[in-house]
């Protein structure tokens, strides 16, 4: 499973968001997402396994606890990909903005130009 597939699920995105503040135990993560998304501890564990398999997080056993941390590399790769996509769209949006501005200026000029035949009061009622 790749990074985007793993992050497609809102529960996993929330877990990543929680881990962005620092390491957390499986229990803490399960309680947080369990309360927020009304899922069981085993369901939360399955989500953590998906994140591990996608190499977005690492886990370390500490006695009876499993501590999770984010892996930086996959997020750096995702950020690079997003920058490329954003650059593509930024160029397109800049061009659209230019065309919209041209249209607005053209409309202002057209609206500011008096018509050659002013309407009389009766002609405006039609």
The reported pLDDT for the residue numbered 120 is: 58
pLDDT band at 121 (very low <50, low <70, confident <90, very high): low
pLDDT band at 114 (very low <50, low <70, confident <90, very high): low
- Give the residues across from 24 on adjacent strands: 68
* Higher-scoring residue by pLDDT: 113, 43: 43
pLDDT band at 92 (very low <50, low <70, confident <90, very high): confident
- Bridging pattern class, strands 65-70 and 57-62: antiparallel
Residue 43 contacts by C-beta under 8 Å, 6 or more apart in sequence? 11
């Amino acid at each position: 499973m790749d990074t985007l597939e793993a992050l497609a699920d809102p529960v996993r995105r929330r877990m990543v968001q929680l881990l962005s503040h620092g390491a957390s135990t499986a229990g803490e993560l399960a309680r947080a997402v369990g309360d927020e998304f009304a899922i069981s501890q085993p369901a939360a564990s399955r989500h953590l396994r998906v994140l591990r398999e996608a190499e977005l997080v690492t886990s370390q056993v500490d006695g009876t606890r499993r501590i999770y941390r984010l892996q930086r590399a996959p997020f750096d790769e995702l950020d690079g990909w997003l920058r490329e996509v954003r650059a593509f769209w930024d160029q397109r949006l800049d061009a659209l903005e230019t065309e919209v501005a041209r249209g607005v200026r053209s409309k202002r000029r057209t609206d500011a130009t008096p018509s050659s035949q002013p309407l009389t009061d009766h002609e405006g009622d039609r």
